Amino acid sequence: MAFPLQRPRRLRANDFSRRLVREHRLSADDLIYPVFILESEQDREPIASMPGIERLGRDPLFETAELCLELGIPALALFPVVPAERKSEEAKEAWQHDALVQTRVSQLKERFPELGIITDVALDPFTSHGLDGLVDEDGYVLNDETVDVLVRQALSHARAGADVVAPSDMMDGRVGAIRRALEEEGFSRVSILAYSAKYASAFYGPFRDAVGSAASLGKSGKESFQMDPGNSDEALHEVALDLDEGADMVMVKPAMPYLDILRRVKDRFQRPTLAYQVSGEYAMLHAAAANGWLDGDKVMMEALLSIKRAGADAILSYAAIDIARRLRS
């Protein structure tokens, strides 16, 4: 009787051997926790479309930061919930030194200096129309005028103490403009995480509910500045431009529907590459688990591991705390 010389199943037979030959591992070091922040001190507001996720006032935010440190999560990414009365066509609230993001950054860095703080550089939470930039009379997002405002916003975050500014707007040339401004003002140690391949995706819906931009956006879309989901080569071009302009890290967003993009970016550039498991990805897994169709913990772990395997050096995920707890246990 002939026997196969190669039996790959031999190394799958036992837990110890599976662990020994495992090619990719997920750890708390790989995770960044995105947080929606409120102006209040004590409030927690549940987000209906994102089970288990809340908008956080100051004190709950501090509790969350302390928990992240305890679990080994290296960084928070902050996303503000801006009251309607502070939104404007010019997004003036975005760069005020005493605005919500700037205040919370300063407070977090004073209290938790070892925790990395990443800030979103984009105007959609601050505009009355819900788009990521200034618009002309036809509603078209103006590139260069928007970049000027993004520079002011990024500088205000750096002055407050942000470790990483993350332009997520997809305006052309904004990374270079921000990098030059940071250098000129003495913030050479502030890193730029560029959302370089950010697609015009339908997976962002719950996020827009969370920050309150969905109502402002209405039926408007972001196809004129975010990437077409059908394009792959263009992502490499966008990443190359941002790296040439001074980005320290690049982002692919969303994550799971764009694992092919993530792999191509990492293979081509071999630079720090992050991915964002966005609100829709998180919500659909939770919805399936709530209906008893999937094992929620297992599919979330598998989803994040697939992102890591595809090439992500770090992952923004609303499940970061739950996953870090599970990894610890």
For the chain, how far is it from start to end, CA to CA, in angstroms? 46
Is the Cβ–Cβ distance between 91 and 149 less than 8 Å?
Answer: yes
CA 289 to chain centre: 23
Is 219 noted as a catalytic residue in this protein? no
How many helices and strands, by DSSP H and E, does the chain display? 12, 10
Q: At residue 288, what are phi and psi to the nearest 5 degrees? A: -65, -40
The active-site residue, picked from 87, 198, 266, 308, is 198
Residue 307's nearest CA partner among 328, 286, 278 is 278
State yes or no: cis peptide before 254, omega within 30 of 0: yes
The active-site residue, picked from 87, 222, 253, 266, is 253
Is 198 noted as a catalytic residue in this protein? yes
Residue 81's nearest CA partner among 65, 61, 66, 64 is 61
Please state whether beta strands 54-56 and 75-80 pair in parallel, antiparallel, or not at all (unpaired).
Answer: unpaired
Query: Which positions are annotated as active-site residues?
Result: 198, 253
